[in-house]
């Protein structure tokens, strides 16, 4: 079907004997915001790392944007249009905000291979625009991000996904370290994405947030998808019982 | 001031929050050091460290001393430029001194004259093959080739086998020194062509050092290569996830360090008019010390070529300061050890301070 943005079949990842992800079948449609929930170690981040090719999967297939994909690495996934806010942020502490925003895809003035001259002015302007668009407030763009608060750093990571045109945004626990105000801000960014029809996968432990922002909830438990429920067909208690294993078996969407 | 740190929207600027460049601190240390030597000199020796005191010369500064300070650090300084890039990327290079030794021997063999005072050059390595009196470009290219190869081996070992840079370059340190000794069975190689001898003549080492420093300062600041050096040293995982090709980048960094060490070998052997297998012993430590004194953090991600240049000047000032105070050469060496360890302690201390403020 053409309105499927992302689909995985039997996606599996093992680290030696650890079955971190087992036979995950997952689908995401155009404009849809899907939440992934599950206990610590359930395999949520592992799932993200396979889709974004940060790691190579053990087995299984992935379709993105209408065709089967085998990304060799994260840059290919990103070029194809998957923007990710990783759980461990993936920021370089000793670089300033524009350098972090453009890390790995710097805008260059002249292409001289590795010695390409950077277009620093452009990157700075684009960073300012991205921060304004996402309503992120940073004291000084040219400072390294080392001394920024957890919230500010998270905002930089999120502004990064909003800077580049994408077909799918994945956020792995984007508000885990944030205060009330910053969380609200990130949620606003996510609502804006929804209004623009941009599909999103949100990994979160925050039940309120998930029910506020997402259309569908997928529950991971011990590396397996154990539930796939539309928001209106479930509630917090139901989800918790899947997360803890009180309810088992894959709960399918009522077709 | 909640306005500046919380999400109201837009970008705020607070001039006070602009970071104070670390190089300024290093420069301050240099100035203080010079002042200290100047004061000690005036008080105890009745002589000036920095200024001209001879009535027969009309100059403000003691130019001879200034020249010595920078001349004696410029060759190791060339190495330190490469070492700085390695350390910023989160690595370390212990092989530079041995690369200097091996490269000096090999390159000098291609820079020799055929006849000395009408007799065949007694030291010529390739007299029989007729590889004498070659144009200067030949030994220079041979040297670059040596540095490139050594750097490639270092880089590939580190990038692909994932052994710590400390071990990989330690291996190269021992092996390259072995090659330096094996090359001519321990014999010095002498009598270079005039063209080759011109490379290290007079103030040429200083000019070469400073030109390379400017070039690489620009590269580190304005190119993608420089940005990625800092990114990898700062957070290698983040750099990988951002799609930076870590292995390729590391190889390039060690190749550049190797080539710079090789260039230092050319300048050194040209300046000395001879190459010996013991050349460059301990240079790697001096180079690392210059970088660390100059504010390059051993944990990666921080520092600059400018910092290293200032660090090398501090190094030079200390050494000539000791000569000026007529302290024995033995003391100089002992103090050098203290400087190296002190610089690393300072680096740790700086980091702890930074962590406390964060
Ligand atoms: N590189 C690795 N090597 C070995 N085991 C790993 C590796 N990465 C993850 N694991 C294991 O895989 C399992 C799933 O980890 P994952 O990071 O996906 O959990 P998660 O659902 O994201 O948890 P959290 O909510 O804490 O972020 C865990 O048991 C973890 O220990
Ligand atoms: Mg996780």
pLDDT in tens, A217-234: 999 999 999 999 999 998
Residue B107 has pLDDT above 90, yes or no: yes
> How many other CB atoms are there within 10 angstroms of residue A16's CB atom?
5
Distance of alpha carbon A200 from the chain centroid: 7
CA distance linking residue A110 with residue A113, whole number of Å: 9
Structure-model confidence comparison of residues B3 and B198, the more confident one:
B198
pLDDT-derived band of residue A212, with 50, 70 and 90 as boundaries? very high
And the tokens for B197?
A: 């001898």
Residues by chain with Cβ below 5 Å of ion ligand 2: A 44-45, 87
Measured CA to CA in angstroms, residue A230 lies from A25, A42, A215, B18, B35 at distances of 16, 20, 6, 48, 75
| Per-residue pLDDT band at B133 (split at 50, 70, 90) | confident
Q: What is the pLDDT of residue A250?
A: 59
* Contact status of B227 with chain A (Cβ, < 8 Å): yes
pLDDT above 90: percentage of residues in chain B: 61
> Is the confidence at residue B4, as pLDDT, over 50?
no
Q: Does B216 touch chain A (CB under 8 A)?
A: no
Is a pLDDT exceeding 60 seen at residue B16? no
Bridge-based pairing state of the strands A168-172 and A82-85:
parallel
Which residues 297-356 of chain B have a CB within 8 Å of chain A?
301-302, 354
Out of A14, A36, A41, mutate this one to test ligand 1's pocket (max ligand atoms within 8 Å of CB): namely: A41
Would the pLDDT of B358 be above 80?
no
Ligand 1 centre to CA of A20 (Å) is 6
Nearest by Cα to A48 from A218, A236, A228, A178: A218
Q: Which two tokens stand for residue A214?
A: 């997402």
β-pair partners for A15: A18
Interval B29-56 mean pLDDT: 87
Within 190-249 of A, beta carbons closer than 8 Å to B belong to none
Cβ-based contacts of B90 with chain A (< 8 Å): none
**How buried is residue A234: exposed, middle or buried, by Cβ count under 10 Å (0-12/13-18/19+)?**
middle
Which residue reads 């090659």 in tokens? B179
Query: Per-residue pLDDT tens for A35-54?
Result: 999 999 999 999 999 999 98
Find the mean pLDDT for residues B97-111.
96
Q: What is the DSSP letter of A95?
A: S
Residue B277 pLDDT > 90, yes or no? yes
Judge: A118–B223 Cβ closer than 8 Å, yes or no.
yes
Burial of B137 (0-12, 13-18, 19+ CB in 10 A): exposed
pLDDT in tens, A22-40: 999 999 999 999 999 999 9
The residue assigned the tokens 């524009």 is A98
Tokens of A59: 């087995």
Expressed in angstroms and rounded, the spacing between residue A181 Cα and the centre of ligand 2 is 23
What pLDDT is attached to residue A200?
A: 94
Q: List alpha helices for chain A, DSSP H.
A: 44-51, 74-80, 97-101, 120-133, 150-163, 180-195, 207-213, 236-244
The rounded Å distance from CA A42 to ligand 2 centre is 8
C-alpha A207/C-alpha A238 separation (Å) is 11
Q: B231 and B238 in contact (C-beta within 8 Å)?
A: yes
B18 pLDDT tier (thresholds 50, 70, 90):
low
Window from B5-9, B141-145, B174-178, B233-237 with minimum mean pLDDT: B5-9
Topology of domain B61-349 in CATH is: ABC transporter involved in vitamin B12 uptake, BtuC (1.10.3470)
Q: Which of A22, A43, A177 to mutate to test the pocket of ligand 1 (most atoms within 8 A of CB)?
A: A43
Confidence of residue A136 (pLDDT cuts 50, 70, 90): confident
Ligand 1 within 6 A of CB of A56: no
With a 6 Å cutoff on the Cβ, whether A44 touches ligand 1 is: yes
A126 to chain B: closest CA residue? B11
The residue whose C-alpha atom lies closest to atom 8 belonging to ligand 1 is: A46
Instruction: List all residues of chain A from 99 to 118 with a beta carbon under 8 Å from chain B.
Output: 99, 103-106, 108, 112, 114-118
Indicate the pLDDT class of residue B23, thresholds 50, 70 and 90. confident
Percent of chain A with pLDDT over 70: 96
More confident residue, B218 or A146: B218
Average per-residue pLDDT in chain A? 88
End-to-end alpha-carbon separation of chain A, Å? 15
Alpha-carbon distance of B297 to A198, in angstroms, equals 42
State the Cα–Cα distance between residues B204 and B209, nearest whole angstrom: 8
Is the pLDDT at B2 greater than 60, yes or no? no
> For A8-25, what is the mean pLDDT?
93
Grade residue B6 by pLDDT with cuts at 50, 70 and 90. Answer: very low
Instruction: Pick the atom of ligand 1 nearest to A13's CA.
Output: 12
B12 touches chain A (CB under 8 A): yes
**Is the Cβ–Cβ distance between B248 and B228 less than 8 Å?**
no
List the beta bridge partners of residue A21: A13
User: Does A251 have pLDDT greater than 70?
Assistant: no
For chain A, the domains span 4-254
Condensed to tens digits (0 to 9), the pLDDT of residues B290-332 reads: 999 999 998 899 999 999 999 999 999 988 888 888 888 788 7
Return the pLDDT at A249: 64
Mean pLDDT of the region B101-116: 93
pLDDT in the model for residue B122:
81
The stretch A113-130 carries a mean pLDDT of 92
Q: What is the mean pLDDT of chain B?
A: 88
At B324 the pLDDT is: 86
Q: Is the pLDDT of residue A13 over 80?
A: yes
User: How many Å apart are CA B349 and CA B88, to the nearest integer?
Assistant: 18
Q: Is the pLDDT of residue A130 over 90?
A: no
Is B161 exposed, middle or buried (CB count within 10 Å of its CB: 0-12, 13-18, 19+)?
exposed
- With a CB cutoff of 8 Å and minimum separation 6, the contacts of B330 are none
- The answer to whether A157 contacts chain B (CB < 8 Å) is no
Range B155-183 average pLDDT: 96
Most confident stretch, A62-76, A222-236, B199-213 = B199-213
Tell me if the domain spanning A4-254 has CATH number 3.40.50.300: yes
Is pLDDT above 90 for B132?
no
């Amino acid at each position: 079907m053409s309105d499927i943005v992302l689909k995985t079949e039997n996606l599996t990842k093992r680290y030696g004997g650890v079955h971190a992800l087992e036979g995950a079948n997952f689908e995401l449609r155009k404009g849809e915001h899907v939440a992934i929930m599950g206990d610590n170690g359930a395999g949520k981040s592992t799932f993200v790392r396979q889709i974004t090719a940060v790691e190579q999967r053990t087995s299984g297939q992935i379709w993105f944007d209408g065709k089967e994909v085998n990304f060799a690495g994260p840059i290919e996934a990103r070029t194809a249009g998957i923007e990710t806010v990783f759980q461990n942020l993936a920021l370089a502490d000793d670089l300033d905000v524009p350098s972090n925003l453009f890390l790995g895809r710097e805008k260059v003035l002249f292409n001289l291979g590795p010695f390409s001259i950077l277009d620093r002015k452009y990157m700075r302007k684009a960073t300012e625009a991205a921060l304004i668009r996402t309503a992120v407030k940073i004291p000084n763009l040219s400072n390294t991000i080392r001394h920024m608060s957890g919230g500010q750093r998270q905002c930089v990571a999120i502004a990064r996904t909003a800077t580049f045109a994408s077909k799918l945004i994945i956020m792995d626990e984007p508000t885990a370290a944030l205060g009330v105000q910053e969380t609200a801000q990130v949620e606003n960014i996510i609502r804006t994405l929804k209004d623009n029809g941009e599909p999103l996968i949100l990994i979160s432990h925050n039940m309120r947030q998930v029910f506020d922002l997402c259309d569908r909830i997928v529950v991971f438990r011990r590396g397996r998808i154990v539930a796939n429920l539309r928001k209106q067909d479930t509630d917090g208690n139901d989800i918790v019982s899947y997360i803890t294993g009180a309810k088992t078996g894959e709960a399918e969407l009522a077709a | 001031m909640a306005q500046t740190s919380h999400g109201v929207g837009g970008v705020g600027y607070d001039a006070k929050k602009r970071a104070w460049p670390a190089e300024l601190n290093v420069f301050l240390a240099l100035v203080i050091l010079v002042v200290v030597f100047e004061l000690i000199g005036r008080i105890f020796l009745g002589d000036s460290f920095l200024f001209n005191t001879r009535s027969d010369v009309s100059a403000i500064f003691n130019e001879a001393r200034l020249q010595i300070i920078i001349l004696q650090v410029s060759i190791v300084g060339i190495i330190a430029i490469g070492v700085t890039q390695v350390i910023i990327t989160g690595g370390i290079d212990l092989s530079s001194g041995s690369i200097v030794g091996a490269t000096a021997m090999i390159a000098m063999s291609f820079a020799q004259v055929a006849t000395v005072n009408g007799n065949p050059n007694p030291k010529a390595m390739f007299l029989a093959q007729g590889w004498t009196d070659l144009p200067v470009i030949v030994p220079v290219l041979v040297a670059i080739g040596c540095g490139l190869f050594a750097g490639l081996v270092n880089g590939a070992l580190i990038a692909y086998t994932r052994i710590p840079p400390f071990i990989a370059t330690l291996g190269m340190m021992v092996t390259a020194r072995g090659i330096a000794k094996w090359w001519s069975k321990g014999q010095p190689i002498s009598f270079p062509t005039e063209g080759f001898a011109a490379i290290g003549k007079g103030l040429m080492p200083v000019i070469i050092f400073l030109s390379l420093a400017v070039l690489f300062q620009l590269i580190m600041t304005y190119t993608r290569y420089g940005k990625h050096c800092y990114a990898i040293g700062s957070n290698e995982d983040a750099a990988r996830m951002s799609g930076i090709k870590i292995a390729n980048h590391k190889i390039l960094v060690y190749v550049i360090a190797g080539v710079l060490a090789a260039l230092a070998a050319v300048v050194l052997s040209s300046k000395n008019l001879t190459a010996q297998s013991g050349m460059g012993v301990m240079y790697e430590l001096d180079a690392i010390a210059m970088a660390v004194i100059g504010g390059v953090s051993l944990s990666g991600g921080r520092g600059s070529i400018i910092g290293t240049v200032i660090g090398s000047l501090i190094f030079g000032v200390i050494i000539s300061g000791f000569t000026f105070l007529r302290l024995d050469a033995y003391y100089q060496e002992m103090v050098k050890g203290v400087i190296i360890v002190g610089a690393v302690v300072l680096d740790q201390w700086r980091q702890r301070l930074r962590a406390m403020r964060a």
